[in-house]
Structure 1
C-alpha cells in the first residue's frame, strides 16, 4: 500500500517536524503501486505547472514554491517561505 500526501507548510516536507501532520491537505491511499505512481506523476506535473521552483529529496519528497507565497513569523520577526510538499509514503 502507498500513500501520496500533500502538505503545505513553512518548511520542506522532508523535515517532518513535530506536528507536521497538521499541515496535511490531502492524503490518498493506493493498494496498487502502479496506480500510486500514475497519480504521483500527474500531481508532480500539475505542481510543476503552478510553481516556478522545485526541490526533491530522494525519490520520496518533493517541495514546490513561489517567492510570492510567504507568511510572516511573529516569533522570528521575518517572512517565511511557504512550501507545497508531496510525500511518497510506502506502507508495510
Structure 2
C-alpha cells in the first residue's frame, strides 16, 4: 500500500521525527505505485504554485516554503520556518531505493539548518 501525504510543520518530511505524523494534513492511499506517483506529482505542482522555495528529493519527499512564513517557538526561543510538504510512502515508510526517481532531486533554495532545536535534540529519528 502506498500513501501520498501532505504535511505542514517545522521540519522537512525526510527527518521522520517521533511525532512526525502530527504534521499530516491529508492522506491518500493507493494500491498501485504509478497511480500514487501520479497523485504525488499533482500535489507537488499544487505546492510549487503556492510557495516560492522548495527542495525535492529522489526519495519522493519534497518541502516547500515561503521565507516570510515563520512562527515563534517558545521551546527554543526562536523563529522557525513553516514547511508545506508532500511525500510518497510505502506502508508508512520511506520508499525502497528501487522506487526512487533521480530526476526529482532538485531545489531552488536552501532550507533553514534546523527545526526546533530543543525538540530536535529530544526526539528520536525512526
Same fold (TM over 0.5): yes
| Distance across 2 between alignment mates of 1:91 and 1:40 | 15
Secondary structure at the aligned position of 2:41 is classed as helix
> TM-score with structure 2 length normalisation?
0.68
| Distance across 1 between alignment mates of 2:52 and 2:16 | 23
| Distance across 2 between alignment mates of 1:57 and 1:12 | 11
Alignment of 1:43-82 (within 5 A): 43-82=43-82
Structure 1 stretches of at least 4 aligned residues deviating more than 6 Å after TM superposition: none
Deviation at 1:57, TM superposition (A): 2.6
Partner of 2:8: 8
Secondary structure at the aligned position of 1:11 is classed as coil
Gaps of 5+ in 1: none
| Distance across 2 between alignment mates of 1:85 and 1:46 | 11
Secondary structure at the aligned position of 1:64 is classed as strand
> TM-score with structure 1 length normalisation?
0.91
Name the count of aligned residue pairs. Answer: 92
Which digits, 9 at most, give the CA deviation of each residue in 1:15-70, with x for residues without a partner?
Answer: 11111111111111011222111111111111111000000233221000001211
Gaps of 5+ in 2: 93-126
Q: Is the 2:40–2:87 contact (alpha carbons within 8 Å) kept by the matching residues of 1?
A: no
Partner of 2:105: none
Provide the aligned C-alpha RMSD in A: 1.5
| Distance across 2 between alignment mates of 1:41 and 1:19 | 25
